[in-house]
A and B are shown apart, each in its own frame.
Chain A
Amino acid sequence: MEFTKSPGVRIGLSIAVATGLYGVSFGALSVASGLDLWQTMALSLLLFSGGSQFAFIGVVGGGGSGAAAMSAASLLGIRNAVYAMQMNALVRPRGWRKLLAAQVTIDESTATASGQTDNLEQRRGFWTAGIGIYVLWNLFTAVGALLGNAMGDPAQWGLDGAAVAAFLALLWPRLKAREPVAIAVVCAVVTLLAVPFVPAGIPILIAAAVAGALGWVSHGPADEGLEPDVDPYATREDHP
């Protein structure tokens, strides 16, 4: 009973439900972009990083090669290494727990832990959000993939439009200042300029190179772009 009074556990559980639920959209979009049920589940079980998973199926769905899809997913996953360094200092997992902690180190578990001030609550928040999202995300990925398989023609249901909306929704919370908006616009324009001239999937990697170069020379705050797609503390800020 004491456990449910822990703020880290409470926030962790609510973010697990909110994030886990949208696994249904990943599952449906993944089968619509041509992956089968098991390939879809492999991404959720083993890769387990929402943005990278959407990137992989986004490239494959757009006609890109497996190599380009893997590259886009891997580049998008680099921020997880930064989160892992932060969580290593905060959660300090030992021994085999390190292996487990690594798999559940994502935007939302990091944000849940970072939002707590007490170290015990930081650790509770990290593990509750991480494991909770892992379980629900995989459950709802399976539901989404089965639904997607039952739906038939993806275009008729507007699933290509759903993919567009998903990417914009992943990007949106990261556009809180002028510089990230400028980076987003530059990368979108570079992408579209490249589309007619190189094979599908490659424009995204060109945009990544541009984004990396902009990061190298920029002087913005170090945590820019490292916001979770579902903010664990958003509702508390909106209704204090």
Chain B
Amino acid sequence: MSLWIWILIACAVAYLTKFAGYLVPAKWMENPRMTRIAGTLTIGLLASLTAVNTFASGQALVLDARVAALAAAAVALWLRAPFLVVVLAGAAAAALARLAGIP
């Protein structure tokens, strides 16, 4: 039940963030620092999420089948594969690595 509350708060914050942009005066847009922080936040968070989902297991750092998924996804992206193909490549690599006995 408590997860529901956080989901709804996240939804409300996301909408208010978007809507706020329609309310502020256009002048604010000329502040490049705000735009830049929005950009570096996006890059930093996505890099962090990639790292956590690849190497973390609770509070431990581990090397397991997910590393194969990271490598396969990188190759697919290098070959300019569409998003869904990249995701399938990651899933297939992890599943195959587990079949091969890698945890």
In the complex, what's the smallest C-beta–C-beta distance from B70 to chain A, in angstroms? 5
Interface string of B37-78 (1 = CB under 8 A from A): 111111111111111111110111100011011101110110
Q: Flag if B43 contacts A211 (CB, 8 Å).
A: yes
Asked if A37 is an interface residue, CB under 8 A from chain B, the answer is: no
Contact partner, A158, options B48, B58, B74, B94, Cβ 8 Å:
B94
Q: Nearest chain-B residue to A97 (Cβ)?
A: B22
Given A82-B21, A103-B18, A215-B41: A174 touches B46 (CB 8 Å cut-off): yes
Please report the C-alpha to C-alpha distance between residue A78 and residue B21 in the assembled complex, in whole angstroms. Answer: 10
Q: Are B68 and A161 in contact (CB under 8 A)?
A: yes
CA of A70 to CA of B87, assembled, Å: 24
Taking a contact as CB atoms closer than 8 A, the residue among A61, A63, A184 that contacts B47 in the complex is A184
Indicate if the CB atoms of A187 and B4 lie closer than 8 Å: no
Task: State whether B86 touches A168 (Cβ < 8 A).
Answer: yes
Do B59 and A199 touch across chains, with their CB atoms under 8 A apart? yes
Are the C-beta atoms of A75 and B45 separated by less than 8 Å?
yes
Q: Is B14 an interface residue (CB 8 A)?
A: yes
Chief secondary structure at chain A's binding surface: helix
Interface size on A, residues (CB 8 A): 112
B101 at the interface (CB under 8 A from A): no
Partner of A73, one of B10, B34, B80, B87: B10
Residues in B neighbouring A149, C-beta threshold 8 A: none
B100 at the binding interface (Cβ < 8 Å): no
Closest 10 A-B residue pairs measured CB to CB?
A84-B21, A211-B44, A165-B90, A161-B94, A161-B69, A225-B39, A66-B6, A215-B40, A158-B94, A158-B95
Q: CB within 8 Å of B: which residues of A?
A: 18-19, 21-22, 24-25, 35, 39, 42-43, 46-49, 51-52, 54-56, 58-63, 65-67, 69-70, 72-89, 93, 98-99, 101-103, 105, 155-172, 174-175, 180, 183-192, 195-200, 203-204, 207-208, 210-212, 214-216, 218, 220, 222-226, 229-230, 238
B residues apposed to A, CB below 8 Å: 2-11, 13-15, 17-22, 24, 26, 28-29, 32-56, 58-61, 65-66, 68-70, 72-74, 76-77, 80, 82-84, 86-98
